[in-house]
Structure 1
């Protein structure tokens, strides 16, 4: 009987869950290390790809942006959601918005995601209720 097979020397078995968690931690650490060790672009390299347009702040954005209009920025990339829009001197309403920036009414005074309205998700950006 070898030393590794001896019951007094045998290591305790780790659970499958702890092995999976350990493997995930190792992969994440390796990815972070690889990113940190990447060489910076040299002056003679090809130009970088244009950056995607930076989103404003997610959620409600006051009027006064590039076009002077209030907007709602939906930052998720794979869902359409219902927002509630408040307006000055007119009634509030719900609107379905997709990912990205949605320009709101000229008199909008606020907008927020409404998870309680029809479950929060919708199918057709632009729909109102």
Structure 2
């Protein structure tokens, strides 16, 4: 009869494999955290309102690739307005303080990016 392995013996045999996997995972996480944002070749902005930073103007990022939508742009001290935007980045006014998709304005969808409404 073959003697059964003790739980310690089974753990000891798995130990080096688990240790190597944990070390590889820790290294991958460290590289991901340490990599600067500028290292990414094509930085994808967050969908929706993006406050400009470092001298960059505020913009709206429309992430769908097959629709044009109405957004409401909030400005201060001037008044708010609606604007039709297509897929991708749309630069906003210098005094824009917010922007969001407005599904209630003319049904939410529009035909001609750049059109504006009250």
Question: Shorter-chain TM-score: which interval?
Answer: 0.5 to 0.7
Q: Distance in 1 between matches of 2:43 and 2:56?
A: 18
Q: 1:57 aligns with which of 35, 40, 46?
A: 46
The separation in 1 between residues aligned to 2:86 and 2:62, in whole angstroms, is 7
Give the alignment's TM-score, normalised by structure 1: 0.57
SS at 2:116 equivalent = coil
Note the C-alpha offset of 1:54: 3.5
Q: Unpaired runs of 5+ in structure 1?
A: 1-50
Q: How many residue pairs are counted as aligned between the two chains? A: 78
1:55, 1:73 within 8 Å by CA — same for their partners in 2? no
Q: Secondary structure at 1:105's aligned position in 2?
A: coil
Q: Which residues in structure 2 correspond to 1:1-129 (within 5 Å)?
A: 53-64=42-53, 68-129=56-117
Gap runs ≥5 in structure 2:
1-39
CA apart distance, 1:115:
0.1
Q: Matched residues in 1 for 2:114 and 2:51: separation?
A: 20
Structure with greater proportional helix content: 2
1:106 counterpart SS class: coil
Displacement of 1:64: 1.1
Q: Deviating runs (4+, > 6 A) in structure 1?
A: none
Give the root-mean-square deviation of aligned CA atoms: 1.6
TM-score, length basis structure 2: 0.62
